[in-house]
Amino acid sequence: MAVDVRTMHLILLGAPGAGKGTQASYLREQWGLVHISTGDILRAEVREGTALGLEAKGYMESGALVPDDLIIRMMEERLGKLGAETGYVLDGFPRTVAQAEALQAMLERIGHTLNAVVNIDVADPELIRRLTGRRVCPNCNAVYHIDTMKPKVDGICDVCGSALIQRKDDQIEAITNRLAVYKSQTQPLIDFYQTRGLLVVIDGTIGVAQVGEKIRTALCGEVN
């Protein structure tokens, strides 16, 4: 794609636990793209007790999708603040075909072009292992794992010293529901974007750095 990497507009797809947030952070650090995570934005709204956060809280804790109209309102406000030359990666949006259609109309209104959609592919057993072992810092949002990314002191955040927690949506009941919801409502996005020639599929089990390199090569070869 003959596009300046710093101005790319990307979407990351993948089931919960596939590594979308990790790769979005990589793209932010390596390319200077703005990382827009609907999950992070919604959790911040819940912590702050905003009207949007109170509306979304019950859906999030049960593992259900937050309704389209709520998410679309939030995203249009966020993207509308960015110029067309500002590159960004969307993490967690869109999650349904209806959201994808709304995003397409939204981008046309604000003069942005979607360059690619990256689907990070990981099988269910590995997703469950990743999610049930994840621990997060409620203060600074740092992420750890009980097997593969342990903090220096068990149960304590390396960054700010807060006690780590397991999010309610990372417990097995919610995970099972999240994966079922993903398969029924989000996976159709793969067909939606494949028919538009935007889809890039990456094996999400090959390691964080290797996944990042595969994404980089698939999108634009060697980054200058």
Question: Predicted confidence band at 222 (pLDDT cuts at 50, 70, 90)?
Answer: low
pLDDT digits (tens, 9 = 90+) for 4-19: 777 889 999 999 889 8
Distances (CA, A) of 188 to 32, 84, 128, 205, 209: 30, 28, 21, 22, 28
Task: Kindly state whether residue 60 falls inside one of the protein's structural domains.
Answer: yes
Which CATH number belongs to the domain containing residue 78 in this structure? 3.40.50.300
Catalytic residue selected from 43, 130, 134, 135: 134
pLDDT at residue number 81? 85
Residue with tokens 């698939």: 218
- Residues facing 199 on adjacent strands: 117
First to last CA, the chain: 14
Residue 95 annotated as catalytic? yes
Is 19 inside a domain boundary? yes
Q: What is the pTM of this model?
A: 0.77
Residue 88, in any domain of the structure: yes
70 in a structural domain: yes
Q: Which of 43, 130, 135, 178 is catalytic?
A: 178
Predicted confidence (pLDDT) per residue in 38-68, tens digit = 888 888 888 888 888 888 888 877 777 788 8
The reply to whether 179 falls in a domain is no
The total domain count for the chain is 1
Is position 49 within any domain?
yes
In a domain, 24, yes or no: yes
**217: CB partners within 8 A, 6+ apart:** none
Active-site residue (options: 43, 95, 135, 214):
95
Residue 203: inside a domain: yes
Choosing from 28, 78, 150, 167, the catalytic residue is 167
Q: Which residue has the higher pLDDT, 53 or 139?
A: 139
Range of the domain at 93: 5-122+185-220
Say which of 20, 130, 135, 214 is annotated catalytic: 20
Q: Are 14 and 22 in contact (CB under 8 A)?
A: no
Runs of H (alpha helix) within 49-198 = 51-62, 68-79, 97-110, 124-132, 172-181, 188-194
